[in-house]
Structure 1
């Protein structure tokens, strides 16, 4: 937890606020308050508490990757050259610097990391892989999967 974040227990109203904002982060406070059944000042106070606690980390636009020229989502399973802290840290820092890597997870399982990489075409990915997914960034091996169809993609968490 960051030093400015506080611990918070979510109640029914907090969860309703979060669900509404996950669905539409551009809701005006007055509209959100009406939907939740709170006064605008109470609703705003709760939203600020959720933000200060780090429950709501930020607000962002969800962009269609196809419409901005990045139709290829590649999933790269990565094996590192070692499990030592220096290798892992080098890999993490390298991945943070690559805008093409939109998601990066250290994995407990067969591989060491999983990346989601957005690309305009397959040749661009091949160039990216041979340039960045290499030993200089602590990588031993990469296996890439290309999804043929997106069935479900959500940014909304299932809150009780």
Structure 2
């Protein structure tokens, strides 16, 4: 996919919506200096170009009883036929795996796992993940606390 040409107004819209996607079109239009109709057209254009790909509510994990967050480094068993495709297919069906990346370096994949508690994580690890034939090795990185969680991408948005 090629890079989309963005003007100063597009950049303002992107930054504002990353900070608060619940902003009304009227408030957004006031902040960027356009009337509501062209503002809405701009947002729709950014959505159609896949610059704005989705809108989500950010849920506080612990407030709904999901207190354990880990990262798993995964070594894939490359000697198995279709190892990557089979691994990805199986991982996509596990709800506790909320993110998965193919990486370089110390491992082949990095997964973010969210669970209720340590016994739930242990059950997921030993009864589900360790049973996936395409996984050769798992290494858990347990999170202790979160020090930053920015949803605003490091991009030159221009001056405000």
TM-score of the pair, normalised by structure 2: 0.91
Q: How many residues align?
A: 156
Structure 2 equivalent of residue 52 of structure 1: 48
Native 8 Å contact 2:80 2:134 kept in 1: no
Give the alignment partner of residue 66 of structure 1, picking from 62, 72, 79.
62
Deviations 1:36-79 (A, max 9, x none): 11111111111001000111111110000010111111111110
> What CA distance in whole angstroms lies between the structure 2 residues aligned with 1:155 and 1:83?
38
SS in 2 for 1:63: coil
Deviations 1:18-40 (A, max 9, x none): 11111111111111000011111
Deviation for aligned residue 1:14: 0.8
Deviations 1:78-108 (A, max 9, x none): 1011177711011111111111111100011
Q: Does 1:89 align with 2:110?
A: no
Deviation for aligned residue 1:134: 2.6
Give the alignment partner of residue 43 of structure 1, picking from 39, 42, 63.
39
Deviation for aligned residue 1:159: 2.3
Deviations 1:83-139 (A, max 9, x none): 777110111111111111111000111100001100111111111011222353510
Structure 2 equivalent of residue 15 of structure 1: 11
Structure 2 equivalent of residue 30 of structure 1: 26
Q: Does 1:141 align with 2:133?
A: no
Consecutive unaligned residues of structure 2, counting only runs of 5 or more, are: none
Consecutive unaligned residues of structure 1, counting only runs of 5 or more, are: none
Structure 1 equivalent of residue 151 of structure 2: 155
SS in 2 for 1:32: helix
